[in-house]
């Protein structure tokens, strides 16, 4: 594995900056597994201004889970829904291939009659998405609405750390993920509906050293053959002042880079509906069903070993069916994980919450798209080099005071671009493209969405280890409420120093007497890793009995985006889908599905690789550009468990705590 020492990544992101100096030095290493998502998160600007038709989809306690499912996706955010689209597209592509069509028809004829491994159908008929709270209520729909790629800004540092190949892959992966979103919006005509704005990003600098580091990175990237086009424009401090009203005393310059903003919840709503429409448009409703269940918190994934647990290699390393345990929501049985979902119901007569545990019996594939909450189901990811640390970010919406209260909106900005601030992208913000209406229907100015300022919580650990998004940090909120006037005093007016209202009020007062309003203030939970990069790939576990490290066949994870998931998650979700579809093809060959039916010849995997140039049907685009640093391998898992052992030997109490938490997740940890 590459050196895990991090470069000086000063950058903006979706909920906060990527790892700055304080992140690298203080990322906790001995936290317990994450708690499940809080049942009552703070409302956000995004959820207040738009209600998704899928918000409470299948949330009723009386709505049962399906009795069978081949693929279970845990999480309905950006990763989960792009993985869903990848599986849907993969199944439809297999359906169009003559050989796969015959193969899947034979599979359906066999499955009801034979209770053996050869009876497991490779083409999914049921794919379900499980969401603990409302639809898309995690970090994707609680972030700042940014969609901007950043690796080029730190190209030189990353090249020194991981080499030129992986650095180029980082650039390509983010660019390709962004194009997935923008391209789908273009093809489907969603641009205006999801508020997609391709206005660029202005990256501000307050030190010459930081600015020259980025300049050198862009120059080196250009010399290495990467495209650094004319959209990358350098601005002096005075130019930033003239164009945007930023204080020249706080800045040394800026660079304009490609960047986008959008309405995340609206986009995810469109994306899920698109998955359903693809199936309907191809007339495949009887062969592939997709269903979403909200209010379903997965409690456990474990290996099924009951009498009816027939499957591929049950009881053998990495081969059994998986059972999905849920709380309060039906039973799904068939194929290979055991998920546990939690369903909460409030009594109409009191405030008590009823919880009921039920089981989703068996799914062939379980895709963990839970980001910050990963260690709740996978406790081994709470510690060690692969650990994912839940980290709370904070965001506010900003408006001028009401006109009837005496403030003028004539100087309210009309930005089309987004911004990332100095000090490592501590703040990130943009102006909404369209005005909102208040509760009386009166049109308001265009809101500004502003997030970041986690350094204000330095005395309490930078919000690390916090997964409670039902609360805010007052010190972080105070810093956010003061930021715009400090950075843009000519636009928003200077902050009146010493004003007590700034610390507690939803308004801030300027020296000129005007005020800003902050109608919304909320938090969201990010997942930070030691390397500042996500972990993507198959799950392995270590047995609590013999210490053997085993592949959990059929289980995958993509998580740990470190506050920069929007330009990464789409490609990672598609990569997971590619792996699932490839395994399904391999299973067809292993199970002896080589025959001729209805005039079509069923060809094996080797034949398919020869016909497709040796790449296989589904191992291609995303596998070729996913950075190796992100990929989970058996060796990385072995190193992870070994380093955990070393740490546990230094603390016996920690060892007992971790062992206890591991045993609740899976029979092999």
276-293 pLDDT per residue, tens: 999 999 999 988 999 999
Residue 42, helix vs strand vs coil: coil
Q: Taking residues 445-457, what's their average pLDDT?
A: 96
Q: Which fold has domain 1-85+123-200+258-280+288-571+617-669?
A: FAD/NAD(P)-binding domain (3.50.50)
Burial class (CB in 10 A: 0-12, 13-18, 19+), 348: exposed
pLDDT of residue 303: 79
Which pLDDT does position 595 carry in this prediction? 37
- Between vectors from CA 656 to CA 655 and to CA 659, what angle results, nearest 5°? 80
pLDDT over 80 (residue 538): yes
Residue that wins the pLDDT comparison between 143 and 319: 143
Higher pLDDT, 210 or 330: 210
Query: Do 89 and 380 meet the contact criterion of CB atoms below 8 Å apart?
Result: no
Residue closest to 300 by CA, chosen among 254, 330, 272, 337: 337
In terms of Cβ atoms closer than 10 Å to its own Cβ (0-12, 13-18, 19+), residue 512 is exposed
**Which is more confidently placed, 375 or 590?**
375
Among residues 331, 328, 352, the alpha carbon closest in space to that of 341 is found at 328
Percent of the chain with pLDDT over 70: 71
Distance, CA of 658 to CA of 654 (rounded, Å):
6
State the average pLDDT over residues 120-149: 87
- Predicted confidence band at 638 (pLDDT cuts at 50, 70, 90)? very high
What is the dihedral sign for C-alpha 614, 618, 623, 625? positive
DSSP 501-564: HHHH-SEEEBTTS-EEE---EEEEEEEEETTSS-EEEEEEEE-TTT--EEEEEEEEEEE--TT-
Choose between 140 and 14: higher pLDDT.
Answer: 140
Query: Which of 16-25, 213-222, 517-526 is predicted with the least confidence, judged by mean pLDDT?
Result: 16-25
* Average pLDDT estimate for 118-134: 73
Coil, helix or strand at residue 21: helix
Q: How far apart are CA 41 and CA 469, in angstroms?
A: 5
In the prediction, which pLDDT does 123 show? 53
pLDDT at residue 46 above 80? yes
Best-predicted range by mean pLDDT among 284-298, 594-608, 611-625?
284-298
Residue 361: which of 190, 14, 126, 594 has the closest Cα? 126
For residue 101, what pLDDT is reported?
44
Q: Which of 122, 130, 132 is nearest to 72 (CA)?
A: 130
Token pair of 622 as six digits: 């995303």
Q: Where are the domains of the chain?
A: 1-85+123-200+258-280+288-571+617-669
CA-closest candidate to residue 367, choices 561, 533, 581: 581
Q: What is the pLDDT of residue 142?
A: 96
- Residue that wins the pLDDT comparison between 507 and 388: 388
The number of angstroms, rounded, from the C-alpha of 307 to the middle of its chain's C-alpha atoms is: 37
The mean per-residue pLDDT over the stretch 248-272 comes to 96
Band (652; pLDDT cuts 50, 70, 90): low
pLDDT in the model for residue 54: 98
Structure tokens at 538: 């198959």
Give every CB contact of residue 86 below 8 A, 6+ residues apart in sequence: 573, 574, 576, 577, 578, 580, 581
Distance CA 383, CA 372 (A): 13
Q: What is the mean pLDDT of residues 261-285?
A: 97
Q: How confident is the model at residue 360 (pLDDT cuts 50, 70, 90)?
A: low
The answer to whether residues 524 and 476 touch, using CB atoms and an 8 Å cutoff, is: no
Q: Would you state the structure tokens that stand for residue 225, as one six-digit string?
A: 């053959």
pLDDT of residue 97: 77
Cα diameter, the chain:
83
How distant, in Å, are the alpha carbons of 130, 284, 601 from that of 102?
Answer: 31, 15, 8
Q: Please state the rounded mean pLDDT for residues 218-223.
A: 98
Mean pLDDT of 446-455: 96
- Mean pLDDT, residues 403-431: 76
User: Mean pLDDT score of the chain, rounded to an integer?
Assistant: 79
- Give Cα 61 distance to the centre of its chain: 27
Cα–Cα dist 269/185, whole Å? 12
Strands lying side by side in the sheet with 289-293: 289-293, 126-130, 71-74, 365-368, 549-559, 535-542
What's the token pair of residue 429? 């913000």
Kindly tell me if the per-residue pLDDT of 118 is higher than 50.
no
Q: What's the pLDDT score for residue 30?
A: 87
- pLDDT at 324 (0 to 100): 76
Measured distance CA(424)–CA(19) in Å, rounded:
9
Buried b or exposed e, range 247-267, using 16+ CB within 10 angstroms = beebbbbbbbbbbbbbbbbbb
Split at pLDDT 50, 70, 90, the class of 120 is very low
Residues 6+ apart with CB under 8 A from 112: none
Higher pLDDT pick, 92 / 606: 92
Instruction: Say whether pTM exceeds 0.75.
Output: yes
Q: Tens of pLDDT along 321-349?
A: 677 777 655 444 433 334 555 544 443 33
The residue ranges of DSSP E strands in 12-74, in sequence order, are: 71-74
Calculate mean pLDDT across residues 103-113. 38
Q: Is the pLDDT of residue 610 over 60?
A: no
CA angle 129, 346, 338 (to 5 degrees): 35
Picking from 240-249, 402-411, 422-431, 602-611, which range would have the lowest pLDDT averaged per residue? 602-611
Q: Does position 364 have pLDDT exceeding 50, yes or no?
A: yes
Alpha helices (H) in 282-313, listed in sequence order? none
Mean pLDDT confidence for 129-145: 96
Residue given tokens 């983010």 in the structure block: 174
Residue 546: band (very low, low, confident or very high) from pLDDT cuts 50, 70, 90:
confident
Select from 17, 136, 139 the least CA-distant residue to 467. 139
With 70 as the cut, is the pLDDT of residue 389 above it? yes
């Amino acid at each position: 594995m590459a050196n895990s020492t991090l470069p000086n990544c000063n950058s903006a992101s979706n909920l906060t900056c990527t790892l700055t100096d304080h992140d690298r030095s203080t990322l906790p290493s001995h936290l317990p597994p994450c708690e499940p998502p809080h049942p009552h998160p703070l409302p956000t600007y995004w959820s207040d201004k738009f209600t998704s038709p899928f918000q409470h989809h299948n949330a009723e306690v009386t709505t049962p889970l399906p009795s069978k499912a081949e693929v279970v996706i845990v999480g309905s955010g950006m990763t989960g829904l792009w993985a869903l689209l990848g599986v849907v597209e993969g199944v439809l592509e297999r359906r169009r291939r003559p050989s796969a069509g015959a193969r899947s028809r034979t599979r359906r004829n066999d499955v009801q009659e034979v209770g053996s491994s050869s009876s497991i159908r490779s083409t999914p008929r049921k794919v379900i998405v499980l969401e603990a709270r409302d639809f898309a209520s995690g970090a994707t729909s609680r972030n700042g609405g940014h969609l901007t790629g950043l690796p080029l800004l730190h190209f030189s540092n990353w090249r020194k750390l991981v080499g030129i190949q992986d650095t180029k892959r980082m650039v390509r992966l983010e660019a390709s993920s962004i194009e997935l979103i923008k391209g789908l919006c273009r093809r489907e005509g969603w641009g205006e509906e999801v508020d997609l704005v391709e206005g660029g990003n202005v990256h501000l600098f307050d030190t010459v050293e930081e600015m020259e580091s980025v300049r050198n990175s862009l120059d080196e990237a250009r010399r290495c053959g990467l495209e650094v086009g004319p959209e990358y424009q350098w601005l002096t401090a005075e130019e930033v002042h003239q164009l945007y009203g930023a204080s020249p005393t706080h800045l040394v310059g800026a660079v304009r880079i490609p960047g986008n903003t959008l309405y995340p919840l609206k986009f995810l709503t469109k994306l899920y509906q698109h998955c359903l429409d693809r199936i309907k448009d191809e007339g495949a409703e009887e062969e592939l069903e997709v269903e979403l269940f909200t209010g379903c918190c997965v409690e456990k994934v474990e290996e099924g070993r009951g009498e009816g647990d027939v499957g591929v290699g049950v009881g053998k390393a990495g081969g059994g069916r998986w059972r999905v345990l849920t709380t309060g929501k039906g039973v799904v049985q068939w194929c290979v994980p055991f998920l546990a979902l939690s369903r909460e119901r409030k009594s109409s007569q009191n405030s008590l919450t009823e919880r009921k545990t039920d089981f989703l019996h068996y799914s062939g594939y379980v895709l963990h798209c839970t980001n910050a909450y990963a260690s709740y189901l996978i406790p081994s990811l709470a510690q060690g080099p692969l650990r994912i640390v839940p980290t709370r970010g904070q965001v506010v919406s900003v408006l001028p005071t009401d006109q009837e209260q005496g403030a003028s909106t004539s100087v309210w900005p009309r930005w089309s671009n987004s911004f990332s601030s100095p000090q490592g992208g501590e703040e990130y913000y943009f102006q909404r493209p369209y005005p909102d209406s208040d509760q009386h229907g009166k049109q308001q100015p265009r809101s500004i969405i502003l997030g970041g300022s986690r350094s204000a919580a330095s005395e309490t650990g930078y919000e690390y280890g916090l997964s409670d998004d039902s609360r805010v940090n007052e010190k972080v909120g105070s810093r956010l409420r003061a930021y715009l006037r400090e950075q843009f005093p000519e636009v928003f007016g200077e902050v009146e120093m010493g004003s007590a209202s700034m610390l507690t009020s939803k308004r801030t007062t300027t020296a000129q007497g005007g005020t800003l309003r902050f109608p919304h203030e909320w938090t969201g939970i990010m997942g930070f890793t030691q390397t500042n990069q996500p972990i993507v790939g198959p799950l392995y576990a270590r047995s609590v009995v013999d210490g053997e490290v085993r592949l959990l066949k059929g289980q995958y994870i993509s998580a740990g985006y470190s506050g920069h998931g929007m330009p990464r998650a789409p490609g990672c979700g598609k990569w997971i889908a590619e792996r699932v579809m490839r395994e399904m093809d391999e299973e067809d060959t292993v199970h002896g599905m080589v025959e001729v039916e209805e005039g079509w010849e069923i060809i094996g995997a080797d034949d398919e690789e020869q016909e497709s140039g040796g790449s296989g049907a589904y191992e291609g685009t995303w596998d070729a550009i996913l950075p190796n640093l992100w990929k989970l391998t058996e060796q990385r898992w072995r190193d992870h468990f070994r380093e955990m052992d070393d740490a546990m030997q230094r603390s016996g109490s920690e060892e007992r705590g971790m062992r206890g938490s591991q045993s609740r997740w899976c029979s092999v940890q």
